[in-house]
Amino acid sequence: MRTLNRILWMLTIMPALGGFSFAQVEKAAMKTTGISCGMCAAVSEVYLRQLPGIDKIRISLSQEAIMISYKPGAAFQPKQLHEALKKTDVGIVQLQIGARGRIEGQGEKRFFAAGNDRFAVVSTPNGAEIPVNTPLAIEGILNDQAQPMELKILTFKIEK
């Protein structure tokens, strides 16, 4: 998990240098099972490139990880990621995202809104209270099998 965090953090630096971008999921890092050879990786990349909004794909065979960055304004659709990889018998063990958006409150519940995506916040670093309606850049682990999707925020930075 540390390696995925480092990779996602490095991918976060480049867009952050350009200022606040669209509120959206900008990148996804996936710990996978089944990517064990160059052929699996190549075929997986072909299927992933067919998905709308994908900008860049990086695959690490040694870490069995896939890193995806999205084009500005692109929709984040984890179900499509699962379906594309299922075609090559590759599974997603953990899905981590980097996104820009805002925390919204609904009663005592907190949601992270990134473009059209909305995630239930289940935890924050050290139980931090993140300000509502403030532009943020976050990194977090996503449970995309829950309804609504659940987000464990690992790091956040208030954007200006």
Q: What is the pLDDT of residues 31-80, one digit of tens each?
A: 999 888 889 899 999 999 999 999 999 999 999 999 999 999 999 999 99
Distances (CA, A) of 88 to 46, 48, 77, 81: 10, 11, 18, 12
Residues 6+ away with beta carbon under 8 Å from 84: 44, 47, 48, 50, 51
CA distance 97 to 91: 17
The domains located in the chain, with CATH, are 2-17+29-94 (3.30.70.100), 98-158 (2.40.50)
Beta strand pairing call for 117-123 and 91-106: unpaired
- Per residue in 67-123, pLDDT (tens digit) is 999 999 999 999 999 999 999 999 999 999 999 999 999 888 999 999 989 999 999
